[in-house]
Structure 1
Amino acid sequence: MSAVDYYNKNAQIFFDSTFQVDMHSLYEPFLKYLSVQATILDLGCGSGRDTLAFKNKGFQVDAIDYSVEMVARARGLTGLDVQQLSFYELNAIEKYDGVWACASLLHCERDKLPVVLKKIIDALKPNGVLYMSFKYGNTDREKERRKFTDLDEEQAHALLKSFNNILLLQQWITIDKRIDRTEEWLNILIQKRSA
């Protein structure tokens, strides 16, 4: 079973366990770089929780997820036309002021992370910002039939150093925001340099 199969099969359980989680402490570092009416892409939006939060704050939000079932729930929650799309298929050029990739790129195969990151950077306008989060660790593993690419500081540095058009704004570790979890997350905030 792939990650997308898992989310299609367990969409309601995943939705119920995530859509009310308070993420404001993670929104703050990201949103402070965005002006009012900025355009945001929620990349791998899951339940649509963050999409809705950004919409309610007045931002223009596009959202994508690869799971058909999650897309349906995110559309229902947000009232937006959430698209069924993989991050591998992203091909926007300088369209977004911000890209929010919360707990989504951890399903990207490690050897494809540089390619996907380049796609995201290409999708950002100059001075645009990207937030991404990974479970903290340094292994590739499988849990509940989903593959995870964990990341630590050293691996994050290796990933980012191949791009000369980005600036690392902030990198920090947090504990899972869900009440029944204690996992650590590596949060990364980067900015695309203007040409």
Structure 2
Amino acid sequence: MDNLLNYYNKNAQLFFDSTYRVEMNTLYQPFLRYLKENAFILDLGCGSGRDSLAFKNKGYTVEAIDSSEELVKKAVILSGVHVKHASFYDLKERNKYDGIWACASLLHCKRERLPEVLERIFKSLKLNGICYMSFKYGERDREVEGRSFTDLNEDQANDLLKGNKKWLLLQQWVSNDQRSDHVHEWLNIIVKKISD
């Protein structure tokens, strides 16, 4: 995790500049359709703050967290929402959020810790709460420029979610990168908390 944080702290401006203007409405809509007006959303691993700002502008109550101190500063300035300096490993809330948006953040979670982090997300959601998460499409763990990635495909996602009767898989689909200069495919997953 130290290498990852060093990368994002050192390259915060570059990362911010390359992400904060990316058009994400085609990904927001499948998530937001399950949420009521004025829902309370946690942007889990908010990066530049782009999505926090978008949700706030759509009338939702938003909190955010990110593990990079430098990105937290930038996200606060861009979005104007409360951004906590923390990791998804630190999530401790209970029955607090209507929705959790984990866009391109859990891909930095160690594969063996994904069940633990999903349990933290589960506990943080209210009953019938919705979680969106996305991973780079693939099946392996890899490192790029000091950043570790946990890629996921449909079978791995199903293995991760199966056996947990508290989650209902609402949608799962593969999409292209929203950035025109990137060629990655993404696995998008939306789940609902259906019991405590």
Percent identity, please.
59
Q: Report 1:158-169 matches (<5 A).
A: 158-169=159-170
Q: TM-score, normalised by structure 1?
A: 0.98
Alpha-carbon distance between aligned partners in 2 of 1:34 and 1:183, rounded to the nearest angstrom? 28
Q: Which residue of 2 aligns with 1:122?
A: 123
Q: Shift in Å at residue 194 of structure 1?
A: 3.8
Instruction: State the match for 1:179 in structure 2.
Output: 180
Deviation at 1:162, TM superposition (A): 3.3
How far the C-alpha of 1:2 sits from its partner, in A, is 1.4
1:44 matched to 2:42? The reply is no
Gaps of 5+ in 1: none
Within 5 Å, which residues of 2 pair with 1:77-88? 77-88=78-89
Q: Distance in 2 between matches of 1:72 and 1:87?
A: 18
Deviation at residue 81 of structure 1 after TM alignment: 2.2
Match of 1:171, SS state, is strand
Letter in 2 for 1:181: H
Residue type of the partner of 2:155?
E
Rounded to whole Å, the distance in 2 between the matches of 1:176 and 1:4 is: 23
Which deviates further from its counterpart, 48-57 or 76-85?
76-85
Task: Give the aligned partner of residue 91 of structure 1.
Answer: 92
2:112 maps to which residue? Answer: 111
> What SS does the corresponding residue of 2:15 show, helix, strand or coil?
helix
1:88-130 per-residue CA deviation (whole Å, 9 max, x = no partner) reads 0000111000000000000000000000000001101011100
CA–CA separation in structure 2 for the residues paired with 1:19 and 1:6: 18
Gaps of 5+ in 2: none
Alpha-carbon distance in structure 2 between the residues aligned to 1:19 and 1:145: 22
- Report the AA paired with residue 19 of structure 2: T
Aligned equivalent of 1:23: 24
Letter in 2 for 1:141: R
Which segments of structure 1 move beyond 4 Å, counting only runs of 4 or more? none
Give the Cα–Cα distance (whole angstroms) in 1 for the partners of residues 3 and 152 of structure 2: 20
Question: For the residues of structure 2 that align with 1:181 and 1:12, how far apart are their CA atoms?
Answer: 18
Q: What is the match of residue 150 of structure 2? A: 149
Aligned position for 1:189? 190
Alpha-carbon distance, 1:4 to partner:
1.1
Within the alignment, does 1:71 sit opposite 2:88 as a pair?
no
Q: C-alpha root-mean-square deviation of aligned residues, in Å?
A: 0.8
